Structure 1
Amino acid sequence: MKKVTRRWLVAFMVPVMFLTMAGMVPVAKAESSLGIRVGGAILIDADSGKVLYEENATQPLGIASMTKMMTEYLMFEALEEGTITWDQQFKVNGYTYAISQDRRLSNVPLRRDGTYTIRELYEAVAIYSANAATIAIAETIAGTEAEFVNLMNEKAKELGLTDYKFVNSTGLNNEDLQGMHPSGSGEKDENVMPARSVAKLAYQLIKDYPEVLDTTKISQKIFREGTSDAIEMKNWNFMLPGLDYEYPGVDGLKTGTTLFAGHCFTGTAVRENKRLIAVVMNAVDDKGVGSYKARFDATRSLFDYGFNQFSNVELVSKGYQFKGQKTLGVIKGKERKVAIASKEPVSMIIRKSDKEEYEPQLVVDDKLVKNGQVQAPIKKGTVIGHLKVVRKDGTDLGFIDGKIAGTEVITTEDVKKAGWFALTMGAIGDFFSNAWNSSTGFVKGLFK
């Protein structure tokens, strides 16, 4: 009976496994502490890069059209360097024409014999996630999409992203590129990154090229308005003002949806001078089904958590002195000690209730400080190490760029070098002190 049962289970489970892998059977994800169901997620402060929340944020997953943030980064960089211009014309070729005519994909149809400016193409990318327009920008910058993909992977390494793989400029499944996918990649290849790397890319894009938000905040626009090619572009970011899932302060950044990646979104919102970046990947509802609503609901939960629970808190004041180590010893100085303190205050965005969970730690410069002493002469303001703020239980999520919250620790006074007579007398004093200690130690040892 057991053998029959096992065979029946295997016969049932194998097709279910294959259907699940193909995305045909919804897989319910466990609800997180924030009530979201996602393949991966992260929330960061856009100003400092402080990570406020993460869930399965280091597992590489499909990123779909969130890929276009890298294309935008390289486009802004090329504009900055002068290798392309906003008014530069792109002449449509067979590849971009064929992809632009596939209305199953997000596209603005391009004329076979048409030319389009980089600005027109960029607006189609940033607002409407137009795929052929993205390829056109990539080809303008690098000559071919394959060469542009090389630039994408090089830039990802330069930005410090991890576990990434770019195989095209759009985030489409390669098999949707009608056999014209970039050379060096396979038909089944996909763009992948973990949520942490997606957030870091968004963080760098906004930090280095904040003007991207001037376009991503546009909820709708007419492409080539006033011509026979005019087409309405409605932003796929439905959290923008006036759209279905609007959220106060949202002005970007990039959606992404494919069968492989599921429903993804990198969103950013600002409120009272505090900007957050949220990334959700493969978001589903309570039945395990992915949808636009699921990704925007998950993003809303992240934004609510960030804006309601976190604030910028001063954890260390300027001139802070460490308990039990307010001074360092001085070698060959007119003074035997020198006072030390923090150079600047240290603030960090944390949950309002967690302030007492953090403490300052002193890390001295081993080249300057030997056995707790520094050598004279010493000038006021000399940097002798740094102060870092850490969470006592070690559970802090850190910063997206790996930095540590802290400031320099400096001397707060001058200490001049002692003259030769003082040094000589000091040496003699040390000699007799050591000799006395040795002798008393010897005598004490006799009576043990």
Structure 2
Amino acid sequence: MFEKILIANRGEIALRIHRACKEMGIATVAVHSEADANAMHVRLADESVCIGPAQAAQSYLKIPNIIAAAEITGAQAIHPGYGFLSENAKFAEIVEAHDLVFIGPTPDHIRLMGDKIAAKKAVAEAGIPTVPGSDGGVETFEDAKKVASTMDFPVLIKAASGGGGRGMKVAQTPDQLKEAFDTARAEAMAAFGDDAVYIEKYLGKPRHIEIQIIADEHGNVAHLGERDCSLQRRHQKVLEEAPSPALNKEQRMEIGEITRQAVAKLGYRGAGTVEYLYEDGKFYFIEMNTRLQVEHPVTEAITNIDLVREQIRIAAGMPLSFKQEDVQFNGWSIECRINAEDPRTFAPSPGEVTDFHAPGGLGVRLDSGLYAGYRIPPYYDSLIGKLIVRGATREEALMRLRRALGEMVINGVKTTGPLFEELLHEPDFISGDYNIRWLENWLSETEPKS
């Protein structure tokens, strides 16, 4: 097992990884920008190294600085968390080239799943259902017209190297296809340096269902059930729950086993998430994320499996600590992403946290590096915490979440906490009857409550 791990990230996920390491008896190295010198993960780590100025491009994305920090501290492995360099195949290769261990999948799998066209082809061959659409990239508008003519409109133009909704445009009718095609390519080039796009059937009111998998290098693969991530704004997840209100036990085990077998065929190693759109009883592959997900705690809550601990064990060459038949799903869990944003306009709200109180009690978990006096920097993602609750039933989890939100105090900045307090009184959300477009429709139809 490793004696020391460098955590190549910041915020709540860096703290999450630190905690897992400490429980395993592993020393930690925190890297940080100048703006994060007083961050909680830096204060708690055994060692810390400043790797550059506030801008991420000069610090958290600066590969030579991270490698140098690992070498001077004697770290044996690097955990990338999520975001930043976590799905950068080149970074994983460089880590390995310096005789360090990358805590994640192989560079080849990161690269494969980072190419949406290649990923769709690979998983289809492995037995995963995919959305009807082009077999590969669509290079010209004439090609786009031919593919679109084989499907009913609307259709979706997507960037091959995309993510987060960028390079993604909908054509409701054939007349809109040219503008959608050109705009998607231009956005893809601007965001990813790659204008390759492909076309898929546009689903009207799907849910976003993802399957958590984990695999070791000894051929053991397990799925840990599904998460429902359908509450979204601009293709960004806002709230997640496990299990999904839309699936029954048979559906859950069927798509879980399909995913598990496909991942085994791919020879995958590490934690990963296969994401689907789900509509009218059918699953359609979207993408595979080759890293730990923001929403991983809801899976941990209902399985009692520490995913970060398993990641570290796998990277050290150890087998999974459990088998598929050992996985038990107990209760219901919900996670709210607490962002430093206006709860209605979603404008960023960096600044000093003047008062902070974490909710507690049975079944309540808050993953956050906040403390009174901490200054939230304006340079990074606005996620400042994740409030996770677990109950024996969905109803109990909802009541516990309502109570926990009422206890949470974060003063000095605006947060999205009040948004969730509103949503917990909405009949559609209470019943679980929502899809990936529900939140944006609700936001446009409702006025802030006084």
TM-score between the two structures when normalised by the length of structure 2: 0.22
Specify which structure has the bigger relative contact order, considering alpha-carbon pairs within 8 angstroms and separated by 6 or more residues: 1
Which has more radius of gyration? 1
